[in-house]
A and B are shown apart, each in its own frame.
Chain A
Amino acid sequence: MNINNRTYKILDIDRVLSDLHPITPFGIKLKSLMKPYTRAEEEELKEELDRVEKIRELVDTQRAVFVEIRTHMRGIKDIRKSVERCMEGGVLNSVEFFELKNLISIMRSISQSQSALHWKIPEKYKVHVLEEVEKLLDPESCGLKTFYIYDCYSEALRNLRAERTKAEHLLEEMRQKKARDVESETGLKLRSTGDITISRNQADLIKKLIDCPKLQVFSETYINVTFKVRPDESMAQLMQEIENLKEKEALEEMKVLEELSQKVASQGQAILRNIDAIAHFDLLVAKAYLAIAMNAVKPIISKGICCTIKNGRHPVVEAGLKKKGKDFTPISVNLQRGVAVITGANMGGKTVSLKLIGLLAAMVQYGLFVPAGYMEASLWDFIFISAGDEQSLDSGLSTFGAEMQGIKEMLDMCNQRGLILIDELARGTNPREGYAISYGIISYLMEKPCITIITTHFDGLVREGVKHLQVKGLRNVDYEKLGDPDVISQYMDYTLIEIVGNTGVPKDAINISRLIGVPEEILKEAESILEN
């Protein structure tokens, strides 16, 4: 499926995709890799559209479950790198284990919520409870979401910690006893940390305390001396022992982290699989929510070459109008293999119609629902749009040159099935040649397995075998009453109608110029030229 960059941009595919909001970092990543389905993937696309439809139904009937799942999903952080590093033999740290534990617990919540859905979830979207990993990270099954290098990870660790705690208690007791001894000997009250600060004004007291074998000077300042209980030999030994135990404990903890990392690594595939399932489920739900937000329908994929849209709306233009409190006039088309020409008034929405057809066709191929009452279309090998007004300053090409360069690229592809949209073909050159070239291109494209839609102001392009569509435009409107050019759009009827028989291109240009306020003497002369 080929959509070149220019077409992608002109059709505003970006803008539509930016309204697609997966919640998890995994879903967001998957979205960034989204590609249009190819013709060969028709079955997969149909299945995807069916799933979006299913989810949309479920959102209607089981909204609470989706609120729940989305709340769980919001807590997910991207820890794929940690999992991958662990699988490559790396050692995770406590924070990484905490985050993993958190993710695994969210996976359980999502899995439980999923099973409440009235849907037989395909494996690709199903999140499993990873009991093995849960057990590894919550060895005491206390169900807390916190993480710590728990005692039960290693017998040695448990013993070391117990031993250290015991030693610390013993040391504290000895210190307390010493402190009480000091207090009864000196009659002073020590702080709970076993120290006391004496002002230098009390020189005698300081001298006395310096001589006290149970105390030692801890720190001195200009005005104070702070004494601390002096540890005796057995206390000093105990302190050394505690230090040694702490060191061993740190080493043991590192060992535990290493072992735990290996055990998690052995479950790495299952974790990554679940991450994948979350990504797919997340994106699928996002598509369903987008469909709801756009009031969109499931498109029907047609085997033949056709594109039928009933009451289609351009989502980006519609959103813009909505902000101004206006409605988008829906557009309907029914196109088969061959060429269609759209003629009609200036400001009549021909370009919007063209872009709408292209955008909706592209949305179908991205597996999205379309903002229309009904749509049936084939899958395309390529979608091409030429908006006619781009200049390529880089290559020094004029409007016409740039247009023809794009057209040439398209013509190279047009033996494949394509949707070709050309806005005002050859308008950037002299009308005589422009008309002739347009005529030739239309003849050429009539034979191709494509649908081509061309907007034009040239008379005479419509002929046998070319469908003629026209924007209703300002017909049946009293120009005298319009007055303000800003209201033109309000009176403009954007409906596309099919014209049978050869009528010319409507002449609204002078009327519209008059509305906008172009001097009357110019317009009078223009009219007299037309009459002659």
Chain B
Amino acid sequence: MKLIDLIYPKNRIVSIVGTCKNAGKTVTLNEIILQAGEKGIPIGLISTGRDGERRDVLTETEKPPVFVRKGTIITTVENAIKPEHAGIEIYSVTDYNTPMGRVVIGRVVEDGYVEISGPYSSRTIKAMCEEMMSFGAELVLIDGSLDRRASAAPFVSDGTILATGAALARSQELVIDKTLHIINTYSIPQAERGEIRDLAEGIIEEGKTGLINEDLSITYVDTLTSLRSGSLIAQALTEDTRYVVLSGSATADTLKDIMQNAKSEITILVKDGTRIFIPQRELHLLQKMGLKLNVVDAINIIAVTINPYSPEGYYFDSAAFLENMRRAIPDIPVYDVMQGGNGYEY
């Protein structure tokens, strides 16, 4: 099965995020664009802002620019539309400003290399993905920059491709371990009861912290001004508390404060896996303390791509790396992007 078949038509907005720099994210993106092109799927491209492309010049690795086919809908910036580049028919000029000018949506009128750009906020990205679909894109790909993994949030995209590779750590074992941690975080299960998800959704919408009690009543905790919100939540816990809903990020300190003061068996709820920032070791510790962590929206990881090369000069045996990664995550298809076409057969 080819990567594109996993992606489309089940998913219409797909983000591609990397576990680190040089994880092969852009190679993956180009491969998906190519495969979509072969299938004749009209695509839209957007990236999550920030001038990430330029930064790679500093590490002196070759970063392939994005090559697109005629008809592709792209989000780019004003200053990237020049006669010497691929022709772009302008469809929409947004109010969103970047150092390279305003963000523009257009249709590529001839095959060629283009610069993909986009806004920073998830909400705006989502809106622009929908706008691109209204212009004819059937599949929108979000090039998620490293510091904006939030584009993987289910609120924004239907599914996510996670790109990982040798650049993440020195040894295969470590790379697999770290990747697995990210996947585990992203795969934290959804709260089972629908009414709990609805209540949590409401609390998160309002940007508040709330406790859901046994009788489904909600106790709000005013944590807006406090850095150590954990201790404030801890004070509010009662024997009736069943769920603690955090609208911001879940950090180890906060969760520790809550777990140590729990007076009953509680589950902690966050919006989705992109809101969880807990190092592996501490997550293990917390789980031993009895932590139950759930999300409101589950992230759909469509596939993992691996890059056996690190720009620092070391590399893994690609066949073994692929094999080991597949064994470590049996539920998610893994592809080696550096092997060209064959690496995509699964």
CB of A94 to closest CB in B, whole Å: 5
By the criterion CB–CB under 8 Å, are A223 and B83 in contact?
A: no
- Residues from chain A with Cβ under 8 Å of B309 in the complex: 221-222
Binary contact track B308-337/A, C-beta < 8 Å → 1, others 0: 110000010111000000000000000000
Cβ 8 A contact of A224, one of B87, B91, B340: B340
Say yes or no for A53: interface residue by CB 8 A criterion.
no
Say yes or no for B201: interface residue by CB 8 A criterion.
no
By the criterion CB–CB under 8 Å, are A254 and B90 in contact?
A: no
Given A95-B102, A222-B309, A146 contacting B90 (CB threshold 8 A):
yes
By the criterion CB–CB under 8 Å, are A95 and B89 in contact?
A: no
Binary contact track B95-108/A, C-beta < 8 Å → 1, others 0: 00000011010110
Say yes or no for B115: interface residue by CB 8 A criterion.
no
Binary contact track A165-209/B, C-beta < 8 Å → 1, others 0: 000100000000000000000000001110111010000000000
By the criterion CB–CB under 8 Å, are A221 and B81 in contact?
A: no
Q: Using CB atoms, name the residue of chain B closest to A227.
A: B340
Given A95-B78, A192-B38, A224 contacting B338 (CB threshold 8 A):
yes
Say yes or no for A147: interface residue by CB 8 A criterion.
yes
Say yes or no for A93: interface residue by CB 8 A criterion.
yes
Q: Using CB atoms, name the residue of chain B closest to A172.
A: B111
By the criterion CB–CB under 8 Å, are A95 and B339 in contact?
A: no
Alpha-carbon distance A250/B110, docked complex (angstroms): 13
By the criterion CB–CB under 8 Å, are B93 and A99 in contact?
A: yes
By the criterion CB–CB under 8 Å, are B90 and A98 in contact?
A: yes
- Residues from chain A with Cβ under 8 Å of B109 in the complex: 148
CB of A347 to closest CB in B, whole Å: 37
By the criterion CB–CB under 8 Å, are A95 and B107 in contact?
A: no
Alpha-carbon distance A99/B81, docked complex (angstroms): 14
CB of A76 to closest CB in B, whole Å: 12
Q: Using CB atoms, name the residue of chain A closest to B111.
A: A168
Q: Using CB atoms, name the residue of chain A closest to B106.
A: A146
By the criterion CB–CB under 8 Å, are A253 and B83 in contact?
A: yes
By the criterion CB–CB under 8 Å, are A197 and B87 in contact?
A: no
- Residues from chain A with Cβ under 8 Å of B308 in the complex: 223
Say yes or no for A226: interface residue by CB 8 A criterion.
yes
Cβ 8 A contact of B81, one of A94, A192, A197, A199: A94
- Residues from chain A with Cβ under 8 Å of B89 in the complex: 146-148
Q: Using CB atoms, name the residue of chain A closest to B309.
A: A221
Cβ 8 A contact of B340, one of A98, A196, A250, A253: A196
Q: Using CB atoms, name the residue of chain A closest to B35.
A: A192
Q: Using CB atoms, name the residue of chain B closest to A192.
A: B38
Say yes or no for A149: interface residue by CB 8 A criterion.
yes
Given A95-B102, A147-B89, A192-B38, A224 contacting B339 (CB threshold 8 A):
yes
- Residues from chain B with Cβ under 8 Å of A222 in the complex: 309, 315
Alpha-carbon distance A223/B90, docked complex (angstroms): 43
- Residues from chain A with Cβ under 8 Å of B107 in the complex: 146
CB of A48 to closest CB in B, whole Å: 32
CB of A28 to closest CB in B, whole Å: 15
B interface, size bucket: 20 to 34
Total residues of chain A contacting the partner, CB 8 A: 32
Say yes or no for B207: interface residue by CB 8 A criterion.
no
Given A95-B78, A221-B309, A147 contacting B90 (CB threshold 8 A):
yes
- Residues from chain B with Cβ under 8 Å of A191 in the complex: 34, 340-341
By the criterion CB–CB under 8 Å, are B104 and A197 in contact?
A: no
- Residues from chain A with Cβ under 8 Å of B37 in the complex: 192
Alpha-carbon distance A226/B343, docked complex (angstroms): 13
Cβ 8 A contact of B90, one of A77, A95, A193: A95
By the criterion CB–CB under 8 Å, are B318 and A223 in contact?
A: yes
By the criterion CB–CB under 8 Å, are B34 and A192 in contact?
A: yes
- Residues from chain B with Cβ under 8 Å of A199 in the complex: 318-319, 339
By the criterion CB–CB under 8 Å, are A148 and B90 in contact?
A: yes
CB of B97 to closest CB in A, whole Å: 13
CB of A102 to closest CB in B, whole Å: 8
If over half of A's interface residues share one DSSP class (helix, strand or loop), that class is named, otherwise mixed; here it is mixed
Q: Using CB atoms, name the residue of chain B closest to A197.
A: B340
Alpha-carbon distance A119/B317, docked complex (angstroms): 80
Alpha-carbon distance A226/B339, docked complex (angstroms): 9
Given A197-B339, A224-B338, A254-B83, A94 contacting B34 (CB threshold 8 A):
no
Binary contact track A71-101/B, C-beta < 8 Å → 1, others 0: 0000001000000000000000111001100
By the criterion CB–CB under 8 Å, are A95 and B84 in contact?
A: no
CB of B78 to closest CB in A, whole Å: 5
Binary contact track A227-242/B, C-beta < 8 Å → 1, others 0: 0000000000000000
By the criterion CB–CB under 8 Å, are B90 and A94 in contact?
A: yes
- Residues from chain A with Cβ under 8 Å of B317 in the complex: 223
CB of B324 to closest CB in A, whole Å: 15
Q: Using CB atoms, name the residue of chain B closest to A246.
A: B84
- Residues from chain B with Cβ under 8 Å of A223 in the complex: 308, 315, 317-318
Alpha-carbon distance A199/B319, docked complex (angstroms): 10
Alpha-carbon distance A257/B104, docked complex (angstroms): 19
Binary contact track B62-105/A, C-beta < 8 Å → 1, others 0: 00000000000000001001011001111101000000011010
Which residues of A246-301 have CB atoms within 8 Å of chain B's CB atoms? Answer: 246, 249-251, 253-254, 257
Alpha-carbon distance A93/B84, docked complex (angstroms): 13
Query: Looking at A95, A148, A195, A254, which has the most chain B CB atoms within 10 Å of its CB?
Result: A95
Which residues of A120-165 have CB atoms within 8 Å of chain B's CB atoms? Answer: 145-149
Say yes or no for B342: interface residue by CB 8 A criterion.
yes
- Residues from chain A with Cβ under 8 Å of B81 in the complex: 93-95
Alpha-carbon distance A224/B343, docked complex (angstroms): 12
Alpha-carbon distance A145/B135, docked complex (angstroms): 12
Alpha-carbon distance A197/B338, docked complex (angstroms): 9
Alpha-carbon distance A254/B83, docked complex (angstroms): 7
Alpha-carbon distance A420/B222, docked complex (angstroms): 51
Cβ 8 A contact of A149, one of B87, B318, B341, B342: B87
Binary contact track B280-323/A, C-beta < 8 Å → 1, others 0: 00000000000000000000000000001100000101110000
Query: Looking at B101, B315, B319, B340, which has the most chain A CB atoms within 10 Å of its CB?
Result: B340
Q: Using CB atoms, name the residue of chain A closest to B339.
A: A197
By the criterion CB–CB under 8 Å, are B93 and A98 in contact?
A: yes
Q: Using CB atoms, name the residue of chain B closest to A222.
A: B315
CB of A228 to closest CB in B, whole Å: 11
Binary contact track A386-422/B, C-beta < 8 Å → 1, others 0: 0000000000000000000000000000000000000
Alpha-carbon distance A158/B109, docked complex (angstroms): 14
By the criterion CB–CB under 8 Å, are A197 and B315 in contact?
A: no
Alpha-carbon distance A224/B37, docked complex (angstroms): 25
Binding site for B on A (CB under 8 A): 77, 93-95, 98-99, 102, 145-149, 168, 191-193, 195-197, 199, 221-224, 226, 246, 249-251, 253-254, 257
Binding site for A on B (CB under 8 A): 34, 37-38, 78, 81, 83-84, 87-91, 93, 101-102, 104, 106-107, 109, 111, 308-309, 315, 317-319, 338-343
Q: List 6 A-B contacts (CB under 8 A).
A: A148-B109, A168-B111, A192-B34, A197-B339, A222-B315, A223-B308
Given contacts A95-B102, A221-B315, 15 further A-B contacts (CB under 8 A): A93-B81, A94-B88, A98-B93, A146-B91, A148-B87, A148-B88, A148-B89, A148-B109, A197-B338, A199-B318, A221-B338, A223-B318, A224-B339, A226-B340, A250-B84
